[in-house]
C-alpha cells in the first residue's frame, strides 16, 4: 500500500473482478491513515470476492469518494442478491460481511449492506477522516525553548 495510492490499488482490484466492473473516483484524493487505506482495500477485495463467488452479477461498480471529514466506499452489483441476515443465495455461510463491519467500526466508521433476492447488493462504508490540527502555539513552537 505504501507505494500505491489507494485509488490506484482499488482500480487494480476492480479490474481483476470476473463480472464487468467499473471504478469511479469522486473528490480530490488525499493521504489517509494507513489503517484506513488498508481497511478500505480489504473491504473492496472481500466485497468483490463475494460478487464473484455468490452474486452471479453481470456488472459491479466501486466508487471511492473523498468528502469533507470522511471518505466513502460504495460497492454495488446487479446480481442475485440475498436476504441480509440469512447469507448468500447459494446457501453457503460466510463471515466476510461480519469481518468487514468490524474492520470499519474499528476506524469509527459505519458499514451498511442493502440487498434483496433478485435485486443485487450494495455495500457502503463511511469512515471519518481526521486531519491533524495545527499546534496552538503555531509552527515551530516545539523547537522553541520556553521562557523562564
| Residue ranges of domains in the chain | 6-131
Residue 43 confidence (pLDDT):
96
In words, the CATH class of domain 6-131 is alpha beta
pLDDT of residue 17: 87
Q: What is the C-alpha separation between 81 and 110, in angstroms, rounded?
A: 21
Does pTM surpass 0.85? Answer: no
CA pair distance 139, 137, nearest whole angstrom: 7
Which residues in the chain show pLDDT less than 70? 1-2, 86-95, 131-148
**Alpha-carbon distance 110 to 125, whole Å?**
6
Neighbours of 136 (CB within 10 A): 6
Amino acid at each position: 500500500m505504501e507505494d500505491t495510492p489507494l485509488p490506484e490499488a482499488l482500480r487494480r482490484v476492480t479490474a481483476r473482478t470476473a463480472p464487468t466492473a467499473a471504478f469511479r473516483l469522486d473528490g480530490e484524493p488525499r493521504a489517509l491513515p494507513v489503517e484506513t487505506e488498508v481497511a478500505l482495500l480489504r473491504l473492496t477485495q472481500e466485497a468483490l470476492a463475494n460478487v464473484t463467488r455468490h452474486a452471479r452479477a453481470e456488472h459491479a461498480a466501486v466508487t471511492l469518494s473523498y468528502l469533507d471529514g470522511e471518505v466513502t466506499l460504495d460497492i454495488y452489483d446487479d446480481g442475485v442478491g440475498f436476504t441480509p441476515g440469512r447469507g448468500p443465495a447459494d446457501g453457503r455461510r460466510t463471515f466476510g460481511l461480519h469481518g468487514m463491519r468490524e474492520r470499519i467500526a474499528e476506524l469509527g466508521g459505519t458499514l451498511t449492506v442493502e440487498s434483496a433476492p433478485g435485486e443485487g447488493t450494495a455495500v457502503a462504508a463511511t469512515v471519518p477522516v481526521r486531519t491533524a490540527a495545527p499546534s496552538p502555539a503555531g509552527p515551530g513552537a516545539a523547537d522553541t525553548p520556553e521562557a523562564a
